Amino acid sequence: MTKVSFVEVTGKTYAVEADSGISAMEAAVRNSVPGIDGDCGGAAACATCHVYVDPAWLAKTGTAGEGMEKDMLEFAEDVRENSRLACQIKLTSELDGLVLRLPEKQH
C-alpha cells in the first residue's frame, strides 16, 4: 500500500492508502477526495486531476512529460513548474508518503 496526502489550499488534508500500480487520480477518486474528478478516466485528456507535486517529491515523480500531459495542462488554471496530472503519476513503494496539493480552483 502507498500512502498519499492530498492537501487543499486551506490546509485540509485527505490521507489515503492505495495499491501500488494505480494512479494517484484513481486513489483520489476511490477515496472521494474533493477536487479530483478524473472525468476522462485517466487518459490525460481532461485536466480535472491537476495537482501540484510537493517540491520534496518532485525528483521522484518527475515533471510533466512532453505530449498529452503537458498539452492538457495548458487547459488547467494556475499551472506551475510542479503541476502534474494525477492520472499520470503511478503509485509505487518509492512514492509512499507522497504529498500532492490541490489548486485553489479545484476544491
User: pLDDT for 47-76, tens place per residue?
Assistant: 999 999 999 999 999 999 888 999 999 988
pTM: 0.93
pLDDT at 44: 87
Q: How far apart are CA 68 and CA 7, in angstroms?
A: 25
Mean pLDDT of the chain: 94
Section 20-33 average pLDDT:
96
pLDDT at 82 over 80: yes
3-class DSSP state of 16:
strand
Q: How far apart are CA 24 and CA 2, in angstroms?
A: 10
pLDDT at 107: 57
Q: Is there a contact between 38 and 26 (Cβ–Cβ < 8 Å)?
A: yes
One-letter identity of residue 102 = L
3-class DSSP state of 76:
coil
pLDDT at 73: 93
